A and B are shown apart, each in its own frame.
Chain A
Amino acid sequence: MSNIKKAFENGKAFIPFITCGDPDLDTTARIVRAAVQSGADLIELGIPFSDPTAEGPVIQEANLRALSAGTTTDKIFELVKDLRKDVVIPLVFMTYANVVFSYGTERFVKKCAEVGVDGIILPDVPYEEKSDFGPTCEEYGVDFISLVAPTSDNRLAKIAQEAQGFLYVVSSLGVTGVRSEIKTDIASIAKIVSENVKVPYAIGFGISRPDQAQMMAQYASGVIVGSAIMKIVAKYGKDSVPYVADYVKEMKDAIRTIP
């Protein structure tokens, strides 16, 4: 059991996603620290993958920029080690199965535990395949975080019951990316989730504006935002730190007191 639950003790949690190494790892470190200062409760660190099949164009491009800049899994472990000198909020990795599998699942998870990564999210590993990663994560005290989607239906309850760390509720069909409106019936998904889950749950995919975050925060313990942040990074590059900081503050302030 990691300290992920602490992220949900400060009102509704705001969870930024940041692709590591876009435009470079030094900027990533500065963005993470700024996000923490602005009130981020947990940060998802994306390890870039060449072919991120669950991502929309914004994060696909962030992945490619990061890889072109020479970002590797080992350099990201070094980044986390450095961040852990002063960053105390929970950090989780979000990447793809092959990044972990190819590194050696046990070697990867052991390193996560050593440097202080609290959980791992692999969007291409569903419930049926989690035995490849889950038991190793458990052994090293790293949470293997599950996802549910609007199409999960009869699968919602069992996934929620076994969820560890926090449960990632995917708000919409399709891939990650900014959406002008979210049409899914989140209320009924949240109801089934809340009746079954033993850990906090956060909603992600398509959220970019404070009003959307407020709407989603009514149904969950937190909201996750990725593409809107990586859009800022794409626009301002090495100078994006203050812009991300302002954005995180605005979003956290919007949801902090939502009941």
Chain B
Amino acid sequence: MSRGRFGVHGGQYIPETLMNAVIELEKAYDYYKNDETFNKELEALFNDYAGRPSLLYYAERLTKALGGAKIYLKREDLNHTGAHKINNVLGQALLAKKMGKTRLIAETGAGQHGVATATAAALFGMECVVFMGEEDVRRQALNVYRMKLLGADVIPVKTGTATLKDAVSETMREWTNRISDTHYCLGSVMGPHPFPTIVRDFQSVISREIRTQILEKEGRLPDAVLACVGGGSNAIGSFYHFINDEGVALIGCEAGGRDVHTFETAATITTGRIGIFHGMKSYFCQDEYGQIAPVYSISAGLDYPGVGPEHAYLHDIGRAQYVAITDDEAVDAFEFLSRTEGVIPAIESAHAVAYARKLAPQMDKNKIIVITISGRGDKDCAAIARYRGEIINE
């Protein structure tokens, strides 16, 4: 069995054309991850450019409103570009630069990863092309404009369901076409090895900071960490430094869409089964013949039929729990957090808030929950207004 396994999951299921490219990437990463200069440069980018460390904020009004566990919000929404995506992108862009690459290509769903990649490309003076499903281009017009403003080319993908999975497929196709000067800046903990490991390592800054911050504020570790899961990068980043602390429950919140009992869902671990797709073995929403299902969620960032292999493994061994949150519950939570704390979360992150609304009241007041607010919700306002029957101009 190949490298890059998490239990049976992971691996490198990609065309031969790309194999030397991922091997070269793995070698470069293995070198630079222990390189002092690289790590200093990355830390400087995190702190001086992206605005890290992000705040760990005690949500007192939310805590009181739910009447149970004490709730902290890990404010990844306060990062430069408005989401956790920048952590991974700064790491990969710096790595790509060290490897002598001059062009970044990326897929994007909600547009946050595309914006982050376009931002890093501008900062490093690199060329940038972002592939985005045509349906998402429509849903996230503001982010499309931001990417173009930052100098990126945005290519609408019309194939298949014209959403995130098709954008990933098209970016892979583009990479097989042009490899020598191009790095595929993959946006989540998915795809072929070494991407799930590289992206996890760059995102693990989230749990490293949570750990330090909660110990400072509470003198102990949290009882539960909640994060939304599409591919799963903010979730694995939030979980990683707690995996060995068995007292910390790790809960991933998937997009249930209209409901997990309908076909209009994107809850991969809840409804999918094991398969091989987009470079990895993991859980996928698929039919009996292995055809990948056209998934659905109100959240463009969670609208993906697979999940990162490390999450599949954490599920298999029972270390993390995965729950499905419907569109309705997520939209309610989006509005609830906005009114209660004055924090407008991304609709993706609102899935984690929605589960906290169920969980916190069942826990004692001396327990602690940390919710990762992976991004800010400005991008979603027009779509949520539409969901509520109100048409606004962006």
List chain A positions with a Cβ less than 8 A from chain B: 49-51, 53-54, 56-57, 60, 64, 67, 72-74, 96-103, 123-129, 131-132, 146-155, 159, 170, 173-175
> Contacts A50-B160, A124-B13, A174-B173 hold; do A101 and B179 have CB atoms under 8 A apart?
no
Q: Are A126 and B277 in contact (CB under 8 A)?
A: no
Identify B291's interface contact among A50, A54, A132, A173, CB under 8 A. A50
Contact partners of A175 in chain B: CB under 8 A: 173, 176-177
Q: Are A123 and B15 in contact (CB under 8 A)?
A: yes
Any A CB within 8 A of the CB of B260: no
Q: Which of B16-24, B58-66, B127-135, B332-340 contacts A (4 or more CB under 8 A)?
A: B16-24
Identify B173's interface contact among A53, A74, A97, A147, CB under 8 A. A53
Q: Are A53 and B278 in contact (CB under 8 A)?
A: yes
Contact partners of A129 in chain B: CB under 8 A: 2, 11-13
Question: Least Cβ distance of B267 to chain A in Å?
Answer: 19
Closest B residue by C-beta to A128: B2
Identify A60's interface contact among B1, B159, B177, B290, CB under 8 A. B159
Any A CB within 8 A of the CB of B275: yes
Interface size on B, residues (CB 8 A): 38
Given contacts A74-B289, A98-B286, 6 further A-B contacts (CB under 8 A): A50-B292, A124-B15, A126-B13, A126-B14, A174-B177, A175-B176
Instruction: Pick 9 A–B contacts, CB within 8 A, sort by A.
Output: A56-B173, A102-B289, A102-B290, A123-B16, A126-B13, A126-B14, A173-B177, A175-B173, A175-B177
Q: Which of B164-172, B202-210, B323-331, B382-390 contacts A (4 or more CB under 8 A)?
A: B164-172
Contact partners of B11 in chain A: CB under 8 A: 128-129
Closest B residue by C-beta to A100: B290
Give the CA-CA distance A5 to B284 in the complex, in Å.
Answer: 37
Question: Least Cβ distance of B270 to chain A in Å?
Answer: 18
Q: Are B16 and A51 in contact (CB under 8 A)?
A: no
Contact partners of A147 in chain B: CB under 8 A: 15-16
Identify B290's interface contact among A98, A126, A150, A170, CB under 8 A. A98
Any A CB within 8 A of the CB of B178: yes
Contact partners of B12 in chain A: CB under 8 A: 126, 128-129
Contact partners of B290 in chain A: CB under 8 A: 49, 73, 98-103
Q: Are B17 and A49 in contact (CB under 8 A)?
A: no
Give the CA-CA distance A129 to B14 in the complex, in Å.
Answer: 9
Give the CA-CA distance A98 to B292 in the complex, in Å.
Answer: 9
Identify B16's interface contact among A64, A131, A149, CB under 8 A. A149
Q: Are B275 and A102 in contact (CB under 8 A)?
A: yes
Contact partners of A96 in chain B: CB under 8 A: 276
Q: Which of A132, A150, A154 has the most CB of B within 10 A?
A: A132
Q: Are A173 and B179 in contact (CB under 8 A)?
A: yes
Closest A residue by C-beta to B174: A174
Nearest 5 A/B pairs, CB to CB: A102-B290, A174-B177, A149-B17, A128-B2, A97-B276
Q: Are B276 and A72 in contact (CB under 8 A)?
A: no
Identify A126's interface contact among B3, B16, B177, B278, CB under 8 A. B16
Give the CA-CA distance A96 to B172 in the complex, in Å.
Answer: 15
Q: Are B17 and A67 in contact (CB under 8 A)?
A: no
